[in-house]
Structure 1
Amino acid sequence: MSPSFMTQSKRLSLIFATLLALCFSLFGSATVASTVPVSNTDMVSNNWSGQVFYGADGEYTRVEAEWNVPCIQPDPRNTSHKPEASSIWVGLGGVVNSNHLVQAGTTQDISYDAQGHAHTRYYAWFANQGFSNPRDKEDKKVLDETIVHCGDHMIARVEGPNSLYIRDVTQNRERGPVSAGPDSDQRTAELIVERPKRGGPSYLANFQQTTLSQCKVFSTKVRGELHLGQFAGIPTQWTMVIDRQHDPRPMVEVLPVRESDSSFTVKWLLSGL
C-alpha cells in the first residue's frame, strides 16, 4: 500500500535527510557511525508504522528482515463487522511516488460473512504498485500469494530494481527471487507494519506486538550491509494514527531499535473502533 502521511513539525527531518544525501553525493561515501537510536516519532501516517530510510534515486539496492506471523483474534467490539487486518513488509521506493513501491510481506486479516461469522486468513505476498491492473479488492497489485500460518517464521527481501523473495522457514517453503513489473525508484527503503486498505482503511487487527529482526539495508553510499542500528541515510520512524486530521490517537507504539539483533518492535494499541 502507498503511504498516507504528514509531518508533525518534523518536516525539517526530511529536508535534512535530503540535504545530507546531496552532501554524500557531492563529497563521496558516507562513513558508517556506530549507532543512532531511533526513538522519536518523525512522521505520522494513517496506515504505515516502522522505519523508513531516505536517499537519492537508486541509492537503496536491497532491504530485508525477519519476523513471526502474528496470531490475531476478532475484536468483539466490531459489531459492524468491518474487516480487520494488519500487514508486515519490506520494500523499496514508494514514499515520493507510490507507483514506484515494490514490496514483499505477510498479511493477517479477518473478514465476516453475511451471518456475521469471522474468517481469519494468513498469507504471504509480493506486490509491485507500478502495475495498472489490481487483482484484488484491496487495490494491491499482487504478483504472487501463498497461504502461511500464524507463528510461522518469515524472511523477506526486496532487491532493486524489482526483485522479490520471501521464505516461510517454518514450512520450509519459498517463493522467488522473481523480477516482474516496473522498477522501484530505490529512493527509500522501508520496514513497515501497516493497516491495509479494504475499500478504505480497515480496522487494525490486534497483533499484540511484532518484532522485525535482522533488519538490513544495502546502500550505494556504503560498502556492505547496514544493520538497522547503524547510521545510514537517517532512518525516520513512522507511527500510525486513527486519522491524522480528526483523531490523532496512536494505534501502535514503535519501540526503539535494538542494536544487538538489529531489530525493532511494534506494539498494537488500538484497532480504530
Structure 2
Amino acid sequence: MDATTRGRLRAMALGLLGSAPAADRSVRAAERALASYGPGPRARRGPGPVPDPGPPPEAVLARICLDRLRAREARRPDPWDPWADAPDAAPGLTPAERLVLVLHDLHGVPYETLAPVLDRAPAAVRQIGARARARVRGAEEMPVPDPVRLRAALDAVLTAARAGDTAALLALLDPAAVLRADRSAVRGGVRPAHGAPAVARVLAARAAAARPILVDGAPALVADADPDALYVFTAPAGPITSIDVLADPPHLARHALTT
C-alpha cells in the first residue's frame, strides 16, 4: 500500500472511530487483509491465474471499522437517548449510518462500494445516508412518524414474538437495525444487538412479555415482566431501524406514559 492510500484510509478511519490509535490499528488490519489479494510482497504465490485483486481498500477498511463501531456500541454504558434535553446532544447514528455519512459524504466513497460491506443494495445504502443526514441536521427535519403505522408494526412485533416467529420479526426490521439498552435495562438482562437477525433474537426472547403503551403520545412497548422497561421503536420511513430499551429512572422520568 502506498503512502497516499494509507493516508486516505487513516483519515477515513479517524473520522469513523474518532481515535488516532484505533484508526492506526484499523489501517494496519486493512493492510494485512489487502496483502492476501493480488500482486505484492506478501501475495499468494504459485502457478495459475493472476491472483484475485480483491475488494477496494475503502471497502476492506469500512468492514473493519464497522465491526469496531458495532463492538463499541455494544459496550456503551449509556445509549443514545432520543429524548435528550441537551440541545447539543450528538445525534444517535447507528454504526451503518455513521459509516455511510463519513465515507460517502466526507470521503466520496461510492454507494456501490459500501453496499457489499452493509449487505445492502446501493439504493438502500443511499437511504441509510439520507437518514443519517436527517439526524445530523436535527430531529425537526426527521420524517414525522406515522402513529397508526407504528402501532401496526408494534402489534406485529408482539404477535410474532408471542408465536416465537423469528422470520416474521426479521421481516419487520431494517437489515441494519440496532437495539440499544441503558444501564438498568442491561442489568435486567437486555443485551444490545446489531443487525436484523440479532435484534430479532432479542425481541423473540423479550417482547413476548410486553404490552402496548404510549410514550409522550407515541406508540411503544412496556415489558410486563419489568414494568419500568420501555421499548421505544424508530421507523422513520418503513421498517424498524432502531429500538431503545430504557429503564434508568432519569430516562423514565422525562416522559408521560399512558395506556
Q: Identify whether the pair has TM-score above 0.5, normalized to the shorter chain.
A: no
Q: Give the TM-score band, short-chain normalised.
A: under 0.3
Normalised TM-score (structure 1): 0.26
Relative contact order, higher structure (CA 8 A, sep 6+): 1
